[in-house]
Structure 1
């Protein structure tokens, strides 16, 4: 039997370090390797241009996976992804059904939903301020305001600022990713088990986008009543519990319940 690996994918203009210590928590609880990748234009790949489509972005991620983790080339992948990462994960599952064993889509969306649900109009001004800000501290504080419902944590903001200064995402790459995400519309359903998780108090993306995506995929959906868009940040314990239950059912490292 092929080995099993959990691969975590972040969203728009975010990189693998924005998972903070969540990957190690997942690895400890599931007793399986947990890997992360950066989208071109972010993190270690911040100097590269971001592709203009989710399909092209996913193809580059697949290439990266093979190059960075050759020891897991034949592993069964359990893709766990947030926001735009969910679009990449869904596209990956459709393109490589023999490779992808399951999907967990967190606060994701698609063109199945109207644009005013995919990006709440009330946040347009804050998002514009964020994109125009030249001060990392201000920009990351605005991102917190958009994505988290928790009181601001200065130590996390400082980590984000360090990431932004070390691996800055250009305005051009941010725009290219936004363009790719805005145009994503799934046309083929994934054949693997799918779990959709959504935050009902998400101030950036309407949770109904996740509900509509789950309905289209015939997937189970579970809702968090208080967390913001960055669910792994706002309530990692709840998220980990959902992953443990789901992965036990698809036999990822844990015995079935």
Structure 2
């Protein structure tokens, strides 16, 4: 059975995957999915978020060792989680067999104005500076990251925020970790698939295109989904991963 590690992005937790884990397992019955929270998020919201992506890798490895879940791993990750996946594969190539990187952005391949599109600066600053209500915060994040109807998802995300709130300090620490992370110029040994969305309003699709071009790895583009691709079209993600694995099977 293949072990898949799922990692979410900034301030998001395991339960933000929603129905996607089930959709993935249905497409690949042989897969064992292990979703992990990064420190500061979800059930780990009382912990301090590391200021370095490499420390997040250490957390993941330690957590899996404690659960006796042994490598090699396949990692499916988005945004900040994808940076963790890359750092992991680079530092411990014997542990990561494959990476699926979703709507991520990394130095040195993309400039800051593509990694966080300028159209969002005002909305995000308003949330932080005016100490926005939970509903205003989640509604804004959904509007920026999803092409789905906000009212369909908002109640569930508000419930997650009430149960396991992420502190503003931890959100800032995660931003710092993401901003300072620098990917290796040469692709890690792990087989790599990059998935991205043409209509991503948060991170420019050019970031994924640049990464795939520099690393000469597979790239698949969704024409209409937003930044949270597993939320907007989970079955498409699962189908792309399955097709990629089939094409590259020895």
Q: TM-score, normalising length from structure 2?
A: 0.94
Question: Could you say what secondary structure the match of 1:33 adopts?
Answer: strand
Instruction: Encode CA deviations 1:178-213: one digit per residue, 9 max, x unaligned.
Output: 011011111252102100011111111001111111
CA contact (8 A) 2:117 2:203 kept: yes
In the alignment, what sits opposite 1:85? 81
Q: Which residue of 1 aligns with 2:94?
A: 98
Residue 9 of structure 1: how far off its partner (Å): 0.5
Asked if 2 retains the 8 angstrom alpha-carbon contact of 1:197 and 1:222, the reply is yes
Shift of 1:248: 2.5
Describe how 1:105-254 pairs up with structure 2 within 5 A. Answer: 105-112=101-108, 113-131=110-128, 132-154=130-152, 156-187=153-184, 188-251=186-249
Distance 2:248 2:190 in 1: 10
Q: Distance in 1 between matches of 2:245 and 2:86?
A: 17
Unaligned ranges ≥5, structure 1:
none
Cα distance between partner residues in 2 of 1:121 and 1:12: 18
CA RMSD of aligned residues (A): 1.4
Q: How many residue pairs get matched?
A: 246
Residue 107 of structure 1: how far off its partner (Å): 0.3
Equivalent pair of 1:110/1:186 in contact (CA under 8 Å): yes
SS at match of 1:235: helix
* Aligned-partner Cα distance in 2 for 1:133–1:6: 37
Structure 2: distance between partners of 1:193 and 1:89: 12
Match of residue 38 from structure 2: 39
Q: Quote the Cα distance in structure 1 between the aligned partners of 2:72 and 2:127.
A: 38
Q: TM-score, normalised by structure 1?
A: 0.91
Q: Please say which of residues 84-93 and 25-34 is displaced more in the overlay.
A: 25-34
Residues 23-53 of structure 1: CA distance to partner in whole angstroms, max 9, x if unpaired? 1221222112111000000001100000101
Q: Structure 2: 5+ residue runs without aligned partners?
A: none
* Alignment check: 8 A CA contact 1:89 1:103 kept: yes
Q: Give the Cα separation in 2 of the matches to 1:160 and 1:210.
A: 27
Determine if contact 1:16/1:36 at 8 Å carries over to the other structure.
Answer: yes
1-side partners of 2:246 and 2:3: how far apart?
14
